[in-house]
Amino acid sequence: MKRKYPYSGLDDILKEVELLNPSGALKLNDSIVSHIYLGAEKIAGEVVSQQEKPKIDWDRKMDDILTSKVFGFPSMLLLLAVVFWITVTGANYPSEMLAAALFWIQDRLTDLCHLLGAPAWVNGFFVEGVYLSMAWVVAVMLPPMAIFFPCFTILEDMGYLPRVAFNLDRLFKKAGTHGKQSLTMSMGFGCNAAGIVACRIIESPRERLIAMLTNNFVPCNGRFPTLIALASLMVLGMTASPGVTIIVVGIVLLGIAATLTVSWGLSKTLLKGIPSAFVLELPPYRRPQLGKIIVRSIFDRTLFVLGRAICVAAPAGGIAWLLANIHSGGLSLLQHCGSWLNPFGQLLGMDGFILMAFILGFPANEIVLPILIMSYLAAGSMTELSSIEQLSNLFVVEHGWTWLTAACMMLFSLLHYPCSTTLLTIWRESRSIKWTALSALIPLVIACIVCFAVAQAARLLGWV
């Protein structure tokens, strides 16, 4: 038998609710909260005992230094510098070994092609295009990532990141944004897409959008090795890595400055508002689990990110080879594109090939430098590198790089648009074409302005 369902039941109940609690007269939430707090206090008081207070509160002592007004910033800088120094120094040697090994394999692959009597384009496309670009990604990217990730994860596991947020909170408040933005920036160091998702911890939509639009100014793992390699080019001659470390730290600080400036600008114009207050709990310092961190950051992160880079690099390398080897009117397509972009590149202190590399590197920032190397090799007379040391030869001697070229490319790499994955993430999170477009346009315009200004100033002053 079917019973008639009491649809009106809910309405009746709600009517009764209105009678029982006329316009919130019961002050229900206040009562609930106070009773629950009292209950928790009572139970905890009865079961918890602390025999003796620890003599020294190490957490407090560490926080007194790490978050103090005087030592907060210097200690933060020092830690940052130490992490980069370890990365730069540690990555040097394995990079060279990897490059040597991978180039050796390349020669064997070429031998194999000859042995099989394959046509020249097979060797060209697959070995000099696809394989070589993957080899460069591995050689340039793998060592710094494998060192930087664990270092940073150790800091995170210890509980240092919230202290960074605490230190930077004052600056973000001045910029009219949320202090938690520094946490999302820390995530951005690993991957900007992850940084964008982390922006969910910011409740106010206005501040969340600002954090999303500016996350790009934190150099992600895809850009780090590029920055390190370019910094090494800049300090050519003095092989000591402190110089490289200082440059990389400087670039990161510049990125933070750009974040603050753009955030400030946005909160004064497009996204007006006052910063909302928040309470951030400083968690206790915990002993990091070294073994687990190293295993996890290598398997979960380094290899995964590297895999993604290789997947993008393989077709991009193929395309670069094709562009370099399809000729029209006596010049290769690559040279056509390069020379077409060149005037604009020169204005920004770079050249056409560098801009090409940035455009082709849109799917993943990791491949910008490998693509550039490939195009230089294809376009110049020097067609093969036997070791990573010859890189500077290729750049400086063959293609006329100066310190300004390296500096402008670093600046452009730091500031330019986010990669395609990050943009997609921004769109998914904001569901707005407008904000997604702005998150690419704002950095691009800033990157162009900054590079233009630096290049023109350096040339006017006769520094180059």
Site residues for another protein, 420-449, by CB under 8 A, read: 421, 424-425, 428-429
Give which of 283, 281, 256, 275 is closest to 202, Cα–Cα. 275
Give which of 145, 168, 40 is closest to 88, Cα–Cα. 145
Q: Is residue 443 a contact partner of residue 216, using CB atoms and an 8 Å limit?
A: yes
Of the listed pieces 23-31, 325-333, 392-400, 454-462, which binds another protein according to CB under 8 A? 23-31
From start to end of 77-137, where are the E strands? none
CB of 349 to another protein, least distance (A): 31
Q: Kindly tell me which of 67 and 335 has the beta carbon lying closer to another protein.
A: 67
Q: Is residue 381 a contact partner of residue 398, using CB atoms and an 8 Å limit?
A: yes
Q: Is residue 417 a contact partner of residue 436, using CB atoms and an 8 Å limit?
A: no
Using CB under 8 A, which residues numbered 114 to 153 contact another protein? 149, 152-153
Of the listed pieces 15-23, 170-178, 248-256, 337-345, which binds another protein according to CB under 8 A? 15-23
Please provide the size of the chain in residues: 464
Residue 66 to residues 86, 320, 351, Cα–Cα distance (Å): 21, 48, 43
Strands 327-328 and 331-332: antiparallel
The partner residues of 340 in beta bridges, in order of sequence, read: none
Compute how many other C-beta atoms are within 10 angstroms of the C-beta atom of residue 61. Answer: 10
φ, ψ for residue 327, nearest 5 deg: -105, 145
* Separation between Cα atoms, residue 198 and residue 208, nearest integer Å: 10
Q: Kindly tell me which of 50 and 269 has the beta carbon lying closer to another protein.
A: 50
Using CB under 8 A, which residues numbered 33 to 62 contact another protein? 33, 35-37, 39-41, 43-54
Using CB under 8 A, which residues numbered 286 to 305 contact another protein? 286, 289, 296, 300-301, 304-305
* Alpha helices for 235-351 (secondary structure H): 241-268, 290-296, 303-325, 333-347
Identify the sign of the CA torsion 283, 180, 451, 221.
positive
CB of 80 to another protein, least distance (A): 14
Q: Does 198 bind another protein (CB under 8 A)?
A: yes
Of the listed pieces 125-133, 155-163, 168-176, 347-355, which binds another protein according to CB under 8 A? 155-163
Using CB under 8 A, which residues numbered 159 to 178 contact another protein? 159, 161-162, 165
Q: Kindly tell me which of 308 and 336 has the beta carbon lying closer to another protein.
A: 308
> How many CA atoms lie less than 13 Å away from 97 in the CB half-sphere?
7
- Provide the mask over 252-291, with x wherever binding to another protein is found by CB under 8 A and - wherever it is not: ----------------------------xx-xxxx--x--
CB of 229 to another protein, least distance (A): 21
Q: Does 329 bind another protein (CB under 8 A)?
A: no
The partner residues of 332 in beta bridges, in order of sequence, read: 327
Q: Does 12 bind another protein (CB under 8 A)?
A: yes
Using CB under 8 A, which residues numbered 393 to 422 contact another protein? 421
Q: Does 205 bind another protein (CB under 8 A)?
A: no
Q: Kindly tell me which of 202 and 455 has the beta carbon lying closer to another protein.
A: 202
Of the listed pieces 20-28, 78-86, 93-101, 380-388, which binds another protein according to CB under 8 A? 20-28
* Residue 349 Rama label (left phi>0; alpha psi -120 to 50; beta): left
Q: Kindly tell me which of 299 and 463 has the beta carbon lying closer to another protein.
A: 299
Q: Does 239 bind another protein (CB under 8 A)?
A: no
